[in-house]
Chain A
Amino acid sequence: MNPLTQPIGLSHYLVVGAILFVCGIACMAAKRNALGVLMGIELVLNGANLNFIAFGSPLLRGEANQTIGLDGQLIALTVIVLAAAEAAVALAIALVYYRTHATIDVDRGEELKG
């Protein structure tokens, strides 16, 4: 069964979400720039959001007559809000980090090692 020939369904969303997620993880692991790491986080969160929305959609689940199907979107909204808050905090940390280290290279920050 070739997914490219199939109509757009749940699995397509999941695939896109997974790609986004893996990209995010790779970005977080590879980037030494703190802002790059933050971007990776955003990607991870968006990948997760995509999964929520996909799973929450009644159209895709084929259960349109049972719920109005907004729960996945609500969670996604919550995640976005949380991501915004987290970004604000993370940027603040980055600023302070810059002030103390004169760089935003995360590999330089080793003060918290055990």
Chain B
Amino acid sequence: MDINILLPRLLAAAWLLPLASFAGIVFFGPRLGKGGKGSGYVATGAILLAFVLSATALVLWLSHSPLPLGEGQGVRADLPVTGPHPNPLPMGEGTKAISGDWYALGALGDLKITIGYYIDALTLAMFVMVSLVASCIHIYSFGYMHEELHEVTDPLVTLKNGETLRRRGRFHRFFQYFSLFCFSMLGLVLAGNVAMVFVFWELVGICSYLLIGFYHERRSASNAGNKAFIVNRVGDFGMIVGLMVLWTGLGTFSFSEIFNQVRPAENQHQLQVPEGLVRYAARAEIAGIVRQAPDLETAEKQIAEQVPLWREKGFGYGWLVLAGLGIFCGCVGKSAQFPLHVWLPDAMEGPTPVSALIHAATMVAAGVYLAGRFFPVFTPEVLLVIAYVGCITLFLAATMALVATDIKRVLAYSTVSQLGYMMFALGLGGWIAGLFHLFTHACFKALLFLCSGSVIHACGTNEMPQMGGLLKKMPYTAWTMLVGCLAIAGAGVPFILGGIGLSGFYSKDCIIAMGMVHKEANPLHGWLFYVAVIGAGMTSFYMFRLWFMTFSGKPRDAHVHEHAHESPRSMVVPLVILAFLSVVAAWNLPSTRWGLEPLLRQAYPAGAETGNAAGAIWKTVAIPAESASHDHAVHGQATLYALGMALAGFLVALAYYGLRLLDPERLRRTFAPLYWVFINKWGFDRLYGWLFVRGSLVAAWATAAVDRYVIDGLADNSARAVALCARLDDWFDRRVVDRLIDRLAGFTYAAGLRLRRLQTGNVRQYVMLLAVGTVVLFMLMSFYVRSVFK
């Protein structure tokens, strides 16, 4: 079958399977197996099948549009290199996409809302990654959530009468939400237009809300769910603004049409302000021309001549920047970037598999994905803003991770920091670097979260100071987590075979190299690069701090240590799979150039390979070409930077926490003010609480008071009046209307009783009566109606 038909069908099936599982669990969940265990099988089966379908789709895609296998086309320096510029990257030439619509939801004037698809290499890679990671986490959840199979006692919730809460298990509900999430996430990736993206964007948001608040009886969990939801609304507001600007200017929501208008092929895919936005910005001038022109046709001709001139003058450029910033604002909310990063650490209130799937591997990466998808629309100014936001985020979050003691919170801050890295890379123009890191990060962060879940499962606490010495007790968890730590720190061996390392080694190198190229192009913004490099060191430090505190040394809490045990097999197997992926995710298949990075390169946005021209508003900003960062010299240097910082971080962590040569307590006392700032999360929660939450609470209190006393009083009184009316009406009905009817009926009944005596049933009597009656009638008539007989 034609690949243009087959691929959308395959992916649609993969997309809708979790929806079917969701619907099935909604209706039959609690009845499937004991305690709803069957719903877990349904959801896992659906996502596994989705993975098989996505993988099939990817293979089909590769067989149809194979990756370039030419000499020197790998991004890594590990490939044979000859000559000064060995990597004439064939980037962008393969930006083919299959797009179309399945179903039109409706057309409101010019606005057409459709359910469509936009499939390119990025879509396929996301599909495979999401379904694979989700499959692992589904399997893991069997072990992790097994308590929910029967009645649960939640020690963290105290009821009003002083008892702890006992409630029914929610095993099926967990998998129900998971299925809904997988459906939404795949839909978000598959979406062919921005309106559909927005719908699924909100759907993943609601899934996140539901799953953060999975233990909604706990006050902290329900607060965290609300916080995540509300903070995301702030970002979505910006996104709606961006969508409105795009629609006003371009008149379409479809990705392919947006890209065609913003980077038209006849302009060598260079960024230009689309005509719609130019016309919108110059509407005053257009009105002038129309007023002076003799007829509309000439006016239209004049306007068409003027459009390029207006575009030169910068008409509409501001709108394009606004559109980009708006879309990015949505990504800021979803990907927990500064200043909306506050929700993600709190989201750790959800069960750990949720943190792994939604708040580490997939949903929060959706923001990065969307920023990558919209990369062609971003002007240099927007990209610079993205780079700054990403850079601030990665630094702030890393500092918070340095001092956190809750094992999941360390990972949450680390997630925020790594998301910052991705945004940072995108903002520098490193499209491949940013998205590459997205994929590798998904693997190792899911692994790290699942490991932390395994530890929490064993210890019954999140606090690292109570752990320690767990290496012997839980070897699988410890070693897989070490793999995860090495991967996120970017461990590798440089220059041997061109450098071999774990997945994070490749992706982080790409980002650092891009930072170096950007620094050379924009010396003014050079400090961004140094922050990113320092961030790499901090990453390595806090990750190994976590590992040493948890697994090495002597047990700090004897009770916890005795209680600890290795997790069941259903939890260990996904750990091993993900650990394997964390190692090899960035590798190309041996003796070919088939791998993640070449695949991404195939989806590289057309026109971006030469870098973006200087901005129109900030003329000094220049976005360098990504291919420049693949230069051997740059890359080698970046590898040294990244690896050196990672090694330094590791050594410091080893000295303080591994070998305990130095005392972290003294360090804390020396830098007490700094520690205070970090542990209080730079005061963001307090600031927002003071600025927004308190105000909204006061407003809510006031409206509640109005509601209770004014509106409730009104409603109560009107209800009372209605009741009185009803009572009156009732009296009238009974006394007057009912009696009238009763009398009438009684009279009719009595008359009937009398008249029935006439009906004797005797035929002969009837005949006589008939005859006599007729004769009498005629006689009467002859007396009174004489005219008849005359």
Chain A contacts to B: CB under 8 angstroms:
25, 28-32, 37, 106-107, 109-114
Determine whether B698 belongs to the interface, using a CB cutoff of 8 Å to chain A.
Answer: no
On whether the beta carbons of B758 and A114 are closer than 8 Å, the reply is yes
Q: How far is the CA of A61 from the CA of B762 in the complex (A)?
A: 42
* Range class of the B interface residue count: 10 to 19
Which one, A32, A106, A109, A113, contacts B759 given CB within 8 A?
Answer: A113
Determine whether B105 belongs to the interface, using a CB cutoff of 8 Å to chain A.
Answer: no
On whether the beta carbons of A28 and B764 are closer than 8 Å, the reply is yes
Which one, B755, B761, B768, contacts A112 given CB within 8 A?
Answer: B761
On whether the beta carbons of B759 and A29 are closer than 8 Å, the reply is no
30 contacts between A and B (CB under 8 A): A25-B767, A25-B771, A28-B764, A28-B767, A29-B767, A29-B768, A29-B771, A30-B764, A31-B764, A37-B763, A37-B767, A106-B762, A106-B763, A107-B763, A107-B764, A109-B763, A110-B760, A110-B761, A110-B762, A111-B761, A112-B759, A113-B759, A113-B760, A113-B761, A113-B762, A114-B755, A114-B756, A114-B758, A114-B759, A114-B761
CB distance from B639 to the nearest CB of A (A): 113
Determine whether B790 belongs to the interface, using a CB cutoff of 8 Å to chain A.
Answer: no
What residues on B are CB-neighbors of A32 within 8 Å?
A: 764
What residues on B are CB-neighbors of A106 within 8 Å?
A: 762-764
Chain B contacts to A: CB under 8 angstroms:
755-764, 767-768, 771
On whether the beta carbons of A109 and B761 are closer than 8 Å, the reply is yes
Task: Work out how many contacts link A and B, with CB atoms closer than 8 A.
Answer: 38
CB distance from B564 to the nearest CB of A (A): 95
Q: How far is the CA of A106 from the CA of B756 in the complex (A)?
A: 20
What residues on B are CB-neighbors of A113 within 8 Å?
A: 759-762
Q: How far is the CA of A29 from the CA of B768 in the complex (A)?
A: 6
What residues on A are CB-neighbors of B771 within 8 Å?
A: 25, 29
Q: How far is the CA of A28 from the CA of B767 in the complex (A)?
A: 7
CB distance from B189 to the nearest CB of A (A): 83
Q: How far is the CA of A30 from the CA of B771 in the complex (A)?
A: 13
Q: How far is the CA of A29 from the CA of B766 in the complex (A)?
A: 8
Q: How far is the CA of A37 from the CA of B755 in the complex (A)?
A: 26
What residues on A are CB-neighbors of B761 within 8 Å?
A: 109-114
CB distance from A82 to the nearest CB of B (A): 19
Q: How far is the CA of A112 from the CA of B771 in the complex (A)?
A: 21
Which one, A109, A110, A114, contacts B757 given CB within 8 A?
Answer: A114
Most B-side CB within 10 Å, residue of A29, A111, A112? A29
| Nearest residue, chain B, Cβ from A106 | B763
Q: How far is the CA of A25 from the CA of B764 in the complex (A)?
A: 10
What residues on B are CB-neighbors of A112 within 8 Å?
A: 759, 761
| Nearest residue, chain B, Cβ from A111 | B761
What residues on B are CB-neighbors of A107 within 8 Å?
A: 762-764
Q: How far is the CA of A111 from the CA of B759 in the complex (A)?
A: 10
Q: How far is the CA of A58 from the CA of B701 in the complex (A)?
A: 107
What residues on A are CB-neighbors of B760 within 8 Å?
A: 110, 113
Q: How far is the CA of A30 from the CA of B762 in the complex (A)?
A: 12
What residues on B are CB-neighbors of A31 within 8 Å?
A: 764
CB distance from B770 to the nearest CB of A (A): 8
Nearest first, the 10 closest Cβ-Cβ pairs linking A and B are A113-B761, A114-B759, A114-B756, A110-B761, A28-B767, A106-B763, A29-B768, A25-B771, A29-B767, A113-B759
